[in-house]
């Protein structure tokens, strides 16, 4: 399994279980995940996922996307105001990060004398 690296968003808002789940779903925006997928992707226990998901559902941050047999799949709710704010924050952080990397890569071009 691929080890989760701390994202720019988590560095800014804090690395809590709830934030890890939200960040994981932001990274996989448009996809849906089972509780096991979320636990594995966030490197947290399934009981933690079972504890946090009802809160995120109640707040409207995530929503049920579909059911396959007994398995319920979840996705990020892009219409939620908190999610919109976090997506905007991540966009700003990424832009700043790319600008910083771009500035450190630029080197002055030697001029001919």
Q: Does the pLDDT value for residue 2 go beyond 70?
A: no
* Structural domains of the chain, with CATH: 8-105 (1.10.10.10)
In tens, the pLDDT along 31-90 reads 999 999 999 999 999 999 999 999 999 999 999 999 999 999 999 999 999 999 999 998
pTM value is: 0.78
Closest by CA position to 86, among listed 29, 22, 24, 17: 22
**Long-range pairs, 107-110, Cβ under 8 A, ≥24:** none
Exposed e or buried b per residue across 39-49, where buried means at least 16 C-beta atoms within 10 angstroms of its C-beta: bbbbebeeebb
Q: Please state which of the ranges 5-9, 14-18, 32-36, 79-83 shows the lowest mean pLDDT.
A: 5-9
Q: Quick one: pLDDT at residue 94?
A: 85
Q: Does the pLDDT value for residue 100 go beyond 80?
A: no
């Amino acid at each position: 399994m691929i080890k989760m690296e701390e994202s720019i968003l988590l560095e800014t808002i804090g690395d809590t279980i709830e934030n890890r789940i939200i960040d994981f779903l932001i990274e996989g925006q448009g996809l849906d995940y089972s509780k096991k997928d979320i636990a594995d992707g966030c490197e947290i226990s399934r009981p933690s996922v079972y504890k946090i998901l009802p809160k995120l559902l109640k707040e409207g941050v995530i929503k049920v996307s579909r059911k396959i047999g007994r398995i319920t799949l979840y996705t990020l709710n892009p219409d939620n105001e908190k999610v919109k704010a976090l997506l905007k924050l991540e966009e700003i952080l990424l832009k700043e990060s790319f600008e910083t990397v771009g500035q450190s890569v630029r080197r002055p071009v030697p001029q001919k004398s």
